[in-house]
Structure 1
Amino acid sequence: MAEKGREGGSSPMEDPEEQGLLVSVLDSFRSYRRLAHFNGTHVRRQAFYSLPQEHWALLSKPPFSLLDTFSKMDDLIDSNAELAEAIFVAGFKAFLAPTLDNEWVASRVSQQNVNDEFLTYSLIMGHLDAKTSQNDTEKARSCVNQFYREWSAEGAVERSKCFDPVIAALEHEFASRAKDAVSLDRSDLKVLVPGVGLGRLVFDICRAGFSVEGNEISYHMLAASALVLNNTQRVKQYKIAPFALNSSNHISRADQFQTFEVPDVHPAAELVHTGTSGVPGSERMTMSMGDFCVVYSRPDYAEVFDAVATVFFIDTAPNIIRYIEAVRNCLKPGGIWTNLGPLLWHHMSRNEHDEDESEEEKRRRIEVVDAGIGDPGSVELTNEEVVALVEHMGFTIEKQEVGTIETGYISNPRSMLQSTYRPSFWTARKK
């Protein structure tokens, strides 16, 4: 899979702040095993032994056997950690290694460690003073769990609810265009997917025969997608337990400790085929790094794509007008925007003069001409208002459904608690 640089090809290491962000993200995957054992079982054991002795003694025996439960949880943490550490290695190789001086690395890594990539890269991270934040730690944990939704066979239930309507809209668009074209290959339909997460939607659109470019700003997601799309060796290479660290609302321990094998397909093997297109999948799929608003509002992206597909994405916008402007810029006249998702707005209203903001941060914010999603201000609209805004800004809504689709998001179907989205689905055409 070809990759494009962050916001025009610049290296993240050219900016000290960006370097610190990337190092913290990579360290969150490197530290997954240690922190999960501490927060997952060590803290629970402490709380368990804080019970009155007769109580913890009772719960240590069958049919409860909570000490055995903690041991099983430790085993599953180690299984999850194998995936997390593989993401760390893939992310390090993709984003950090190319920016490091070879002589500097050689002076800090012993020759006896060079065959162990995880150990070698961990040693280098130590010299970079890597210290992960709590926020990055939570994102790493969530990222591992998201493999269940995007890359397990069992996750196909959620994927089909969210991806199938969008891919069907692309299929319909291609069929409509093919009627009026003498010769139109499926690869001629160029699709942009912002907010790709772990890359499954991009992969599925590519597998459908279309040309597709994914965009992602999160280093957590970029590192994970780099692993699954470029570096996995086989189907079912990793085993994860996405619900193991959450001990609430389980009917049985077997429900809590379910394991799933990922990935359910081998992307590299799939992408060598042309499939329904005359062009191999590996030549039809690219990935770009950076802020969607900034990257795709640039003149060099004007009227490049035939379609934009957004799934569980538009509610990540502090200011959705910026997203609509970017979509309008990069779509060709007559191109379609197909969207599916809820409106769980990710950004509360932000005070431009937050009392916790330092003078340096204020200065930098003022000096930045285009901070993309980092611009001050935010707004939270209803679905009706979003649709009206899309129409106002140069689109015609051709299809709209609300309440016909129900789906969870990384949901445990055996849990006593079920959270269900009823997302909006619409397709708009640029005038």
Structure 2
Amino acid sequence: MEPSTCDVDTPDYSEEIDEEERINFYNIIAAFRCYRANSLNHVNRKEAYLNSLPGTHQTMLANYRDHLQKVRYCIEANYKVIKHIIQDADCLFYNDSKSTNLSQPPVTPKVRNQDIQKVQITLKQIFRDWSVQGQAELPGAGLGRLIYEIAYRGYYCEGNEFSLFMLIASNFVLNRCVIENQCTFYPWVHQYVNNLSRGNQIEAVTFPDVSPTKFPPKGTMNMVAGDFLQIYRDENYWDCVATCFFIDCANNIIDFVEIIYNILKPGGIWVNLGPLLYHFSDMLTENSIEPTYEDLIVIIKSCGFIILKNKTDVTTKYSQNPTSMHQSEYKSIYLVCQKPEQD
């Protein structure tokens, strides 16, 4: 195996937690593997309904029938890419003594519908982070583009990601894509609605627009897997913390602000971009608070930060299909904050 451009580190777990992580890992690999069958079943249902329509309707939908065959082709092409993505995933998070065999999971994997949807989201994230067509959204943090761009400029940069879906995909892009535009996939093939033309749904996208292995960063980068609140405990350690579409992922956003303040060196800088979507807000099984922007500013100052820059009208999109009839955007918060120098 070739040396890695970006290593993935995991914190030390107890045996019980480690076993839970292994089971979760196998479930996620199973979700990637079920992508093809699940996606083709969706097409099959559409074709079955189409065949049940009156003959006159079917005649008018002849082009639509042909289009569904092209959708099948795109799904097959996506699955070829997915197989490459998960090929080295078995050795991504475990040392040699705990290496995993993807063909022999310890338990029968459980694949949930939401996990299949996360596979589709991961494909869209590749579009966002690593394609020419997604450059309007660069640099995203989910698949490591932000840490690559920072390290490419000569800095040491460490990324943090909780989602194994994202970590598996970012490992492939950062360490296994040896040439630009090595892979072709179809990120919008699952968007059956709000299409102006059939071609919009099956538009091909290539990635990566730049190969991290061909153009390695001048600095050093690595990715740490796990919960931000649990991993980052060393006080006065970092010169800068950059958060991109991140701080609203907390149950309690104050926890994030406090941790960021504590881990920065005196004089250190925190740069933030993103909305206040508050991911846990509508989840019945999760606790959540949702401070407004004006409340957040009070929180940031109360934690000790000096606000150097503050914008509230930065137009941003997230994995947005540029040809879709449905367009959404955020008026994101852009903040540059500083931890005061020691007296």
TM-score, scaled relative to structure 2:
0.91
Cα offset, 1:19, TM superposition: 1.8
Q: Of 289, 312, 322, which residue of structure 2 is paired with 1:402?
A: 312
CA distance in 1, matches of 2:61, 2:144: 43
Distance in 2 separating the partners of 1:250 and 1:36: 18
Structure 1 residues 13, 133: CA separation in 2 closer, same or farther (over 3 Å shift)? farther
Instruction: Name 2:20's counterpart in structure 1.
Output: 17
The alignment status of 1:124 with 2:104, answered yes or no, reads yes
Distance 1:28 1:151 in 2: 22
Distance change (3 Å), C-alpha of 1:412 and 1:4: closer
Look up the match of 1:321: 254
SS in 1 for 2:173: helix
Is the 2:249–2:280 contact (alpha carbons within 8 Å) kept by the matching residues of 1? yes
Greater helix share, structure number: 1
**2:270 aligned residue:** 337
Report if the CA contact (8 A) 1:27-1:88 is conserved.
no
Instruction: Give the aligned residue type for 1:333.
Output: P
Report if the CA contact (8 A) 2:8-2:92 is conserved: no
Q: Does 1:231 align with 2:176?
A: yes
Cα gap change, 1:97/1:231 in structure 2, threshold over 3 Å: closer, same or farther? farther
* Partner-residue secondary structure (3-state), 2:281: coil
- The partner residue of 1:288 within 218, 221, 224 is 224
| Residue type at the aligned position of 1:15 | D
Indicate whether 1:26 and 2:26 are aligned.
no
Match of 1:310 in 2: 243
Q: Distance in 2 between matches of 1:389 and 1:264?
A: 39
Q: What RMSD over aligned residues (CA atoms) do the two structures have, in Å?
A: 2.2
**Distance of 2:195 and 2:99 partners within structure 1:** 50
The CA distance in 1 between the partners of 2:335 and 2:137, in whole Å, is: 18
Which residue among 255, 264, 273 is the counterpart of 2:209?
264
Q: What residue number does 1:379 align with?
A: 289
Q: CA deviation at 1:323?
A: 0.6
Question: Larger deviation: 230-239 or 418-427?
Answer: 230-239
Q: Deviations over 1:382-428 (max 9, x none)?
A: 1111121011111011110111x212211122221111111110111
2:53 corresponds in structure 1 to: 51
- Give the letter aligned to residue 9 of structure 1: D
Give the distance between the partners of 2:16 and 2:83, measured in 1 at CA.
22
Kept in 2: contact 1:335–1:430 (CA 8 A):
yes
- 1:157 corresponds in structure 2 to 136
Within a 5 Å distance, the mapping from 1:131-170 to structure 2 comes to: 131-159=110-138
Tell me the alpha carbon deviations over residues 145-165 of structure 1, each in whole angstroms, 9 at most, x when there is no partner.
211110001111121xx67xx
Within 2, Cα distance between the matches of 1:349 and 1:410?
A: 21
Identity of aligned residues (%): 33
- In 2, the alpha carbon distance for the partners of 1:69 and 1:198 equals 31
2:280 maps to what in 1?
Answer: 347
Relative distance call for 1:303 and 1:147 in structure 2 (3 A) is: same
| Alignment deviations for residues 119-159 of structure 1 (CA, whole Å, 9 cap, x no partner) | xx4x324x642232222111111101211110001111121
Equivalent pair of 2:241/2:269 in contact (CA under 8 Å)? yes
Q: Equivalents in 1 of 2:87, 2:298: separation in Å?
A: 45
Quote the residue 2:165 is aligned against.
220
Q: Tell me, what secondary structure is at the counterpart of 1:138?
A: helix
The answer to whether residue 329 in structure 2 is matched with residue 420 in structure 1 is yes
Task: Check whether the contact 1:5–1:11 (CA below 8 A) recurs between aligned residues.
Answer: no
Structure 2 unpaired stretches of 5+ = none
Partner Cα distance (2:303, 2:237) in 1: 18
Could you say which residue in structure 2 is the equivalent of 1:255? 200
Greater radius of gyration (CA): 1
Point out where structure 1 has 5 or more consecutive residues left out of the alignment.
106-120, 164-195, 275-280, 355-375
Distance 2:305 2:168 in 1: 34
Counterpart CA distance in 2 for 1:11 and 1:87 is: 28
Q: Deviation string for 1:158-212 (max 9, x for gaps)?
A: 21xx67xxxxxxxxxxxxxxxxxxxxxxxxxxxxxxxx41111111111122110
Q: Which letter does structure 1 place at the counterpart of 2:262?
A: N
Verify the 8 A CA contact 1:73 1:244 in the aligned structure 2.
yes
